[in-house]
A = this chain, B = another copy of it.
Amino acid sequence: MAERRFSEDELIAEIFAPLAGEGAFGLRDDAALLPLRGAREVVVTTDALVAGVHFFPDDPPGLVAKKALRVNLSDLAAKAAEPLGFLLTLSLPPDWTNDWARSFAAGLAEDARAFACPLLGGDTTATPGPLTISITAFGRVTRFVSRAGARPGDRIFVSGTIGDAALGLGVARGEAFASRLGHGARATLLERYRLPQPRLPLIAALRDHASAAMDVSDGLVGDLAKLLRASGASAQVEVAKVPLSAAAREAIALEPELLSRAVTGGDDYEILCCASADAASALALAAGEAGVALVEIGVVTAGAEPPQFYNSSGTILKFSRLSFSHF
C-alpha cells in the first residue's frame, strides 16, 4: 500500500524536528532564539535556490539540500563568521514525496552536523511553481570583513580553484567538450558544480589578515569588479595566476575559449580576498596552515575602472560577459 503523504505538521515534526538545534524549541514555536554563544556581532545572510534555475529538478535531493546550505555557509566564511545556525524555507511543488523529503533532510542533517550549523526554524509552504529553497544563515564575528576595505597596493588572493563549477554545468548539460574529457575530469567538474566547499577553515586567516573579502558566486571577473567598486579601487590581475584544477586545464586544453567561461562563470564558492602588502604573506601562510590554498592573482590599483585581466604576454583580455546574472 502506498504511504500517505505527510501533512505539513508531520513533515515538520517527523522529518525536520530531528535536525533542530538549541534555541529551536523542537520547531514547535513560531520563532527561534538565536544561540549567540557569546557573540558580540552577528552576521546574517540569505540565499535561495530555485529548481530549474540553480539546480536540475532531478538532482539528488540530499545534494540539493547541501548546496542550499553551503552557498550560505560560503557567505559566512567570506565575512569571517563562524556558523551559529540557519532557517529553512521550503516551497514545495504539488508532486513532492515523502521519500524526497527524507533524502533532502538526510543530506541537510549531514551538513548541519559537519559544519556545526544547526537548524533553528523555518517555514513550509505549497507552491504551484518549482521547488524553491531559501536559507538564512547566522554567524558570529569578532571582525566583520567587508567588501569595501581593499586599498591600492593590496594583494588579491583567491582560494581553491576557479571555474570548475561553470565547466561542471557544461558537463551536466552534455556540451560537446564534456564527451572529450576523461572520466575523472568529468566527474570532478560535475561534483564541483553540484557540491560547493564552503571555505570555513579560512575564517581565522581572513579575520586576522584580510582587508576585504567576498565569496565568488557569480564569476571571478564580475565579483572582483563588485569588490573593487565597493572599495573604490581598480586592479591588475594576471590570468595565468588564477588557480585552475587539472580537470579545468584538461577542458581548456580541448577548447581554449573555455578559459573565459572559467573566470566569468558562476558557482565557484571560493573566497576572493585582499590583504595589504605587509599582511599578504601572513594571510597566505595562515590559510595554508588551515588547509586551504590561497593564491595571489594580482594587485589592487588606484582608479575607478573595472579590473584589468592580462595574459602572460601582457595583452588585456576582454570578456563578453562579466558575470552571471539572473535577469
Interface of A with B (CB < 8 Å)? 5-9, 11, 25, 28-34, 36, 40-48, 50, 52-54, 75-76, 78-79, 81, 87, 89, 91-92, 120-130, 132, 134, 136, 138-139, 141, 144, 146-148, 214-215, 226, 229-230, 325-327
Contacts and interface: CB of A to CB of B under 8 A. Distances in A.
Given A132-B129, A325-B8, A28 B230 contact: yes
A2 B92 CA distance: 36
A42 B48 contact: no
A75 B5 CA distance: 28
A148 B25 contact: yes
Given A31-B79, A129-B127, A120 B44 contact: yes
Nearest to A126: B326
B123 A46 contact: yes
Contacts of A91: 48, 50, 132
Contacts of A76: 31
A199 to B, nearest CB: 13
A317 to B, nearest CB: 22
Contact of A327 (B6, B42, B44, B50): B6
A79 B30 contact: yes
Nearest to A45: B31
Given A50-B129, A53-B125, 12 more contacts: A25-B146, A28-B147, A28-B148, A29-B79, A29-B148, A29-B214, A30-B78, A30-B147, A44-B138, A47-B89, A48-B125, A124-B326
